[in-house]
Chain A
Amino acid sequence: MGKSFSTPKSLSDNYTHYCPGCTHGIAHRLVAQAIDELGIAGRTVGIAPVGCAVLAYNYFTCDFQEAAHGRAPAMATGIKRVRPDLIVFTYQGDGDLASIGMGEIIHAANRGEKFTTIFINNAIYGMTGGQMAPTTMPGQRATTAPAGRDTDQTGMPIRMANLLKELVTPGYITRQALLNPKQINKAKKAIKKAFEYQVEGKCFSFVELISTCPTNWGLTPVDALKWAEDTLLPYYELGDYKVPE
């Protein structure tokens, strides 16, 4: 009997720099599994964001580029336009994608660029130390919102999947979560589906992943999962927002 569980070939065995309880590791693994299962590692180029995942290339074994803050979708556009045979994914957090990179993601999605975006939504800036993100929940404390997010001043959290689904251009837009094994299995399927659409040259594909940041939320990993279930999921509803015909 062969091994039933092993490290994906597209993942390296480097020690992680992510904090205990962080869900980046799960997301990395799911992406690597999809790459392995589709047999596309040799023609895949990943794009790392600015944020906690800036060093994502230390964990993936395929070609990688490192973007400036928020610009990964523009870089992915550049790659796919000149090398449509390559499989390209951006891996971005919420500060990167929903704040400074809002213009790039909207326009790339609207052009129907044939790449895949993995969007980690943990409702906070991680690497810079817990500042408020566009996705931070009302009342949620952040280092730049010490009394909690005041929506009179900063508006309501941006729901990227909901926003992108409104574009008329066809695309695959889904929101999944990484808070329990059942959700993780569904997320795995969604990520694979997103890459499949790209391999078929069908459409832009976007997988938002509700994730945790125990360190900057000031919670234990277990409490962080519970807080995300109770606070994030009612606002960030899971499911497919748009599926190509």
Chain B
Amino acid sequence: MAKVLMKGNEAIGEAAIRAGCKNYFAYPITPQSEVAEYLAKRMPEVDGVFLQGESEVAVGYMIFGASACGERVMTTSSSPGVSLMGEAISYISAAQCPAVFVNIMRGGPGLGGILPSQGDYFQATKGGGHGDYHLLVLAPDGVQEAVEMTMKAFGLAEKYRGPVMILGDGLIGQMMEPVEFPDDLMTEPSNKDDWATSGMDTRKSDKRNLVRSLFLDPKELNDNNLALKAKYEQMKKEEVLYEGYNTDTDYKVLIVSYGTMSRVCKTSIDMMKQDGIEVGLLRPKSLFPFPEDAVFKASTKESCQSVISIEMSMGQMVEDVERCVKGQRKVDFYGECGGDIPTPEKIIEIIKGLL
């Protein structure tokens, strides 16, 4: 299929449709409102559902209700809106329903700003809502990967019967890049008859289905949490995604960086290479599950003297990097999160300071 030039936000909306998702609920928020605007126009063309909810709180539960019927469903938002959806995400996780959430991050905390940020790493990978749950979190580094990850997210949400989050930043939402929509990423919806509240007639069954998150019996609740934990362990085995860049060299410094930030780091690495300085990059594409072994191996390569996590945050992923390096190397951090993205020159300056 030919490539088309699309804005990230619009491409994410189109990717959902190409993945067979015909249901979209959202509330406007900068810098992701173009997804809603695009799908307000596109969903009726494919006989799909578009609804602008009254708040992100309500949208979270529209997603819950729809996903509990077994229908493919997506919402998109940005940081403050995702905070409001945190409650529903916790319930959807507990009730084990598949759904796709996209967070096009802006600066925080509070209203923060409307420029790109990676300040929601903790929220996405460690919590956001209450209770013991994780999201499967995928972090694209551009429009093409945002499309591919969005398309794959629906199948993954069904495989694990839980919410999947695409964690992008404002730049990925706002920039235009050439993209294609690979047909082979469309997956057939899974059979949901054993759990979805799709109506007994639909399932031709006398057995009713119940979607709930209340387990008053301690053993039942513990069992439900163990079932969730088993899924997260399976994700750690089967869904880890990462990319190594310039890691076949004898690099002295390893950068760990993801999303937009990792692309700037690649430019820095190319520039330093011309000066004879080898720097490696390990880019997590899945933030949960985190590429633990890959980070450990890349950071403990004999030539590697130090590791640095570079983020558009005040230091969030660095905690996972430190955990994975297990004290074998010094782990530094550099980040900015006012909305300005660190320049390649700035990163080179930081790296040279480590050498």
Contact B61 A71 (CB under 8 A): yes
Scan B62-104; emit 1 where CB is below 8 A from any A CB, else 0: 1111111101010000000000000110010001000000000
Question: What is the number of residues of chain B that contact chain A, defined by CB distance less than 8 Å?
Answer: 39
Complex CA distance for A43 and B66, rounded to whole angstroms: 15
Which chain A residues border B23 with CB–CB below 8 Å? 81-82
Q: Which residue of A lies closest to B71 (CB)?
A: A82
Which chain B residues border A124 with CB–CB below 8 Å? none
B110-139 at interface with A (beta carbon < 8 Å): none
Does B25 lie at the interface of the complex (its beta carbon under 8 Å from any beta carbon of A)? yes
Which chain B residues border A57 with CB–CB below 8 Å? 210, 212
Segment from A58-66, A129-137, A222-230 that makes contact with B: A58-66
Which chain A residues border B73 with CB–CB below 8 Å? 78, 82
A17-43 at interface with B (beta carbon < 8 Å): 41-43
Does A86 lie at the interface of the complex (its beta carbon under 8 Å from any beta carbon of B)? yes
Contact B62 A77 (CB under 8 A): yes
Q: Which residue of B lies closest to A60 (CB)?
A: B208
Contact A45 B212 (CB under 8 A): no
Q: Which of A48, A62, A79, A104 has the most CB of B within 10 A?
A: A79
Q: Which of B91, B198, B199 has the most CB of A within 10 A?
A: B199
Which chain A residues border B57 with CB–CB below 8 Å? 71, 74, 103-104
Complex CA distance for A132 and B62, rounded to whole angstroms: 29
Which chain B residues border A48 with CB–CB below 8 Å? 212
Q: Which residue of B lies closest to A61 (CB)?
A: B208
Selected contact of B197 from candidates A42, A65, A67, A85, CB within 8 Å: A65
Does B51 lie at the interface of the complex (its beta carbon under 8 Å from any beta carbon of A)? yes
Min C-beta distance of A70 to chain B, whole Å: 9
Contact A42 B201 (CB under 8 A): yes
B17-33 at interface with A (beta carbon < 8 Å): 23, 25
Q: Which residue of A lies closest to B51 (CB)?
A: A81
A50-106 at interface with B (beta carbon < 8 Å): 54-55, 57, 61-68, 71, 74-79, 81-83, 85-86, 103-104
Does A202 lie at the interface of the complex (its beta carbon under 8 Å from any beta carbon of B)? no
Complex CA distance for A44 and B25, rounded to whole angstroms: 22
Does A107 lie at the interface of the complex (its beta carbon under 8 Å from any beta carbon of B)? yes
Does B53 lie at the interface of the complex (its beta carbon under 8 Å from any beta carbon of A)? yes
Which chain B residues border A47 with CB–CB below 8 Å? 65
Which chain A residues border B69 with CB–CB below 8 Å? 45, 78-79, 82-83, 86
Query: What 7 A-B pairs have minimum CB-CB distances, sorted nearest first?
Result: A78-B65, A75-B65, A42-B201, A74-B61, A78-B62, A78-B66, A63-B197
20 contacts between A and B (CB under 8 A): A42-B201, A44-B199, A45-B69, A45-B197, A62-B200, A63-B209, A66-B212, A67-B61, A67-B64, A74-B61, A74-B64, A75-B65, A79-B197, A81-B51, A82-B23, A82-B73, A103-B55, A104-B57, A104-B58, A107-B53
